[in-house]
Each structure stands twice: as structure tokens, then as C-alpha cells.
Amino acid sequence: MSWIGKIRRVGRIVEPAQNAPETTIAPPTGVTGSLQLRHVDAGSCNGCELEITGAFSAVYDAERYGARLVASPRHADGLLTTGVVTHNMRQPLLNTFHAVPEPRVVIAVGDCACNGGAFADGYGVVGPVGDVVPVDVEVPGCPPTPQQIITALRKVTGR
Amino acid sequence: MAAALQVVAVLAGAPLVMGGMRQVRARLEGRAGGGIGQPYRDLRKLLRKQQITPQGTTVVFALAPAVAAGSTLLIAAIVPLIALGSPLDSAADLFGVVGLLFLGTVALTLAALDTGTAFGGMGSSREITIAALVEPTILLAVFALSIPAHSANLAAIVSAAMQNPGQVFSPGSVLAFVALVIVTLAETGRLPVDNPSTHLEVTMIHPAMVLEYAGPKLAVVEWASGMRLTVLLALLANLFLPWGVAATDPSALGVLLGLAAITVKVAVLASVLAAGEVFIAKLRLFRVPELLAGSFLLALLAVTASSFLATTTQ
């Protein structure tokens, strides 16, 4: 019974929704408010993963804007990629990209995914995500805050 | 007419049931949630996406979503949800319904094997393990309910329960209710048997089987699983609380009342189910047979109790 009391005491912990940002690209299928994403870690330090987890947590709740992480690229409308692309992850990233049914978007999260960041000249690095697959939306930051990630997601979902 | 309305109501209502359950869960977790209409948006988007047929798959993979959705719609047409006496009344037999349920399950498991992926095969083997334990329990539980009605026809069971409301609280009926709730959870892939919102492939049962579906076919698969949940919840409600179900050859008002009654019953059951799911974690896979064996035992006790009580009262 203490759980019921806890649910009542805590109530809603979600941050109030801000005004929707201007959409920079049209929703991939023309349906607003529905975006399933497959997360691909192409060689990240896991800092961005923590912030993505935060964005989908109870506090930031990206689900209320229609965004959701899914288990299979076949179910997805796009990729959420983090980190520089390493030699070992180049082919898996390409495979995942081609497994996503069209139309699809690619969202690059973090400085590493956008321009290489701290690992730009590493010996095991192919380059930023944009060198391997076409990137539609970039989220700069090392790591970007959950709020920044959500703003980028809302630009795509249009909600 | 009532049967056609039942099919339409299940088709249109299934995404609403899924959305409502997610919304109840989100609110209890302190989140805002995507809203009740989110499944409609997701389905509309999926229907507009590219269709991908994985290399090496055969007609089994292509047809399975249609078989799963079609068998569920057929169940929706023949079971007494809004009114008794559907045109297919002679087929509205509990064995027929269990067989149709199993047909949908088998179609998806074969499709998952057809893709040849590791997770597809793993999901199929788990699904069949659970189905093998679930189907006998459903049969036994509805058999327990059919003893007082002296018929395995679902319409006959529902009308017997309407004429004799006290029978709902008989020991056999209560035991059968608990057994049916557990197998409904297992059959529709809800907690604690399967987690419908998991991202971890190793813990999946139903989602693991549909990992290769994309676009319109995925929409059909998701819609079918929502309809399955809706139909089973509605059937559960009507077997034990048949109030509001219209009689054979109903008037328009009777049909509307029946529709309103079943909507309220399914909404309440789905909300209770979603709220209950917040408090439980998924069972370890090897513990699931214990849970299902427990529900089988309850169903067996229900049959014993109702046949014993039926003979003593005569």
C-alpha cells in the first residue's frame, strides 16, 4: 500500500511543456506527433546515452511529443546516433540505416556525432556521422541536455 | 447488424484501448504521456511507410498479419459482445473461439520462424511454450462456466448468467474468473508474463516475433494485438458481468445500450489492468510456467466445484 501513497504524494513530476519549436524539416511521413527512433551508438563515451535516457525519463517525458525508442530498425522512422563513427561501427551503422523503411531521418546527438568532437583525429575513427549517412538534424553539446534533445525531437515530430 | 457493429467497434476501439492503458500507466508514473490518440497516429504513420520484405522470407511471412487480424475479427463477429445471437451463432462455441485464438498465435510464430533470425526463433519458441499452457486453461475455465448453462455455446452461457445473476458469485465461477484473468494476461502479452514496452530483445516474447515487420504489415500486426486484447477483455467482462448485452434480434436502442455497456466494461477492465501493471515486474521466464500451472489448477478446481454444485442442486 505504501506504493499507492507514494504515487499520490509524488504526483506529476514531468517538467511543464515549453512552446513547440519551429519545425525545420517536415515530418517524414506527413503525420505529425509520431516518431519512432532506433538508437545507434556508433562509438560514444556513453555521456549522450545518459542524457537520452534522461530525455525519455519521467521528468522530461519525450513520449508526450510522440517520440519513442524502439527495439528494431524495421519499426523505426529514423536513427538517433551518438558518438564518432569508429571503423568497427561503420558497417553496422550503414546496415541499420538501410534496414529502416523509407522515409527516414537521421538525428546526430552530441558534438562527436556532429563534427567529431574530442575524438575527431583518433586512430580508430572514420569521422562524424555525417561522413557515413546523411544527417537531417544535429544536436550540438558535450553532452547535450535532455531539453536540447527534446527540442530537436520536437522539430521533427512537429508537436 | 449487431455482429457487424461488434467488428467495427473492435476495429475502431482497439487503438483507443491501447492508448488508454498507456495513458493510465504514464499518469501513475508521474509522466504526461502521449495521449489516448497516440496509437491512431502511430498506425496512420505506419500505413504510409515503405513496405520491406526481408530477403528469404516466403508467403508465410507475408500472410501472417492478415491471418492474425482476420482470426481476431472473426472472434469479434461471433462472440456475444453487444448482442446475443450472431448470424454465426452455431460457430460461437468455446472450442471454436479458442481454436481461432490459437490460429492467430501460430500464424505469427510461423512468420517469426520464416524470417530465420535468432530473435524470431527465440520468440516463437517462448510463445508456443506459453500458448501450450494457456489454451488448456482457457478451455477448462470456459468449460466450468458452461456446466451451469448446459451448453458450450457462448451466447447460451451469457444468457444463462443473465437469467441467474447470483451464479456469478458461485465458487466455480469465481475460480474460473481468476484463471481466465491470468491466461488473458499471458495470451495478450501483458505483464507479468511479457512486457509490451520493452526494448531488450532477450526479454521479449511477442515483440521478438514481430521484429522484422515494417510499415503497413507492422501496423496490421499491432492493430491485431490490440484487437485481441480488446476482444478478450470484452469476452471476460460479458462472461461474468453480462448486464447490458442485448437479446437476440435487438432493437436499435438495445444495440446502442449494449455498445455503451461493453464500452464502459472494457474501459474499466483496461484501466484496472493498466493500473495493476504499475505495481508488478515481469516474471522470470522460467517462473511463468508456475504461474500458468497455478491458473490451470484454478480452472480445474472451478470445473470440479461447478460440476459438484450442479449435481447437488439437481
A101: nearest CB among B29, B52, B207: B52
pLDDT average, residue stretch A114-141 = 91
Residue type, A86: T
Per-domain residue ranges of chain A: 34-150
Rounded CA-CA distance B242/A119 in Å is 66
pLDDT of B132 > 60? The answer is yes
- CB contact (8 A) between residue A77 and residue B45: yes
B31: nearest CB among A29, A61, A103: A61
A31: nearest CB among B44, B201, B218: B44
Supply B240's cell numbers. 461474468
B39-61 pLDDT tens trace: 999 999 999 888 888 888 899 99
B5-37 pLDDT tens trace: 889 999 999 999 999 999 999 988 888 888 888
pLDDT average, residue stretch B282-301 = 89
Probe site for chain A from B49, B55, B117, B122 (most A CB atoms < 10 A): B49
> What is the structure's pLDDT at B312?
55
* Higher-scoring residue by pLDDT: B234, B155: B234
Cβ-contact A75, B218 below 8 angstroms: yes
Which residues in chain B touch residue A32, judged by CB atoms under 8 angstroms apart?
Answer: 41
| This prediction's pTM | 0.90
Mean pLDDT across chain A:
89
Which residues in chain A touch residue B44, judged by CB atoms under 8 angstroms apart?
Answer: 31, 34
> What is the structure's pLDDT at A25?
75
Taking the Cβ of residue A1 and every Cβ of chain B, the question of whether any pair is shorter than 8 Å is answered with: no
> What is the structure's pLDDT at A32?
82
Rounded CA-CA distance A88/A126 in Å is 9
Chain B contact residues (CB < 8 Å to A) = 26-35, 38, 41-42, 44-45, 48-52, 198-201, 204, 207, 211-215, 218, 278-279
Rounded CA-CA distance B122/B240 in Å is 36
* Higher-scoring residue by pLDDT: B34, B128: B128
* Structural domain boundaries, residue B100: 2-313
Taking the Cβ of residue A137 and every Cβ of chain B, the question of whether any pair is shorter than 8 Å is answered with: no
Q: How far is A67 from chain B (nearest CA, A)?
A: 9
Longest dimension (CA), chain B: 63
Closest CA to A154 of A29, A17, A10: A17
B211: nearest CB among A31, A34, A72: A72
Residues in chain A: 159
> What is the structure's pLDDT at B11?
92
Q: Predicted ipTM?
A: 0.88
Looking at the structure of chain B, the number of domains it has is 1
> What is the structure's pLDDT at A74?
92
Confidence of residue A125 (pLDDT cuts 50, 70, 90): very high
Probe site for chain B from A75, A102, A105 (most B CB atoms < 10 A): A75
> What is the structure's pLDDT at B311?
61
A66-120 pLDDT tens trace: 899 998 899 999 999 999 999 999 999 999 999 999 889 999 999 999 998 888 8
Cβ-contact B149, B156 below 8 angstroms: yes
Q: What angle do CA B270, B275, B277 make, to 5 degrees?
A: 95
DSSP type of residue A21 = P
Cβ-contact B87, B1 below 8 angstroms: no
Confidence of residue B309 (pLDDT cuts 50, 70, 90): confident
Q: If you count residue pairs, one on A and one on B, with CB atoms under 8 Å apart, how many are there?
A: 88
Which residues in chain A touch residue B49, judged by CB atoms under 8 angstroms apart?
Answer: 29, 77, 101-103
B65-124 pLDDT tens trace: 999 999 999 999 888 888 887 777 777 788 888 889 899 999 999 999 999 888 889 989
Which residues in chain A touch residue B194, judged by CB atoms under 8 angstroms apart?
Answer: none
Q: How far is B201 from chain A (nearest CA, A)?
A: 7
> What is the structure's pLDDT at B16?
94
B173-222 pLDDT tens trace: 888 889 989 888 888 888 888 887 777 777 788 888 888 999 899 999 99
Domain A34-150: assigned CATH number: 3.40.50.12280
> What is the structure's pLDDT at B314?
46
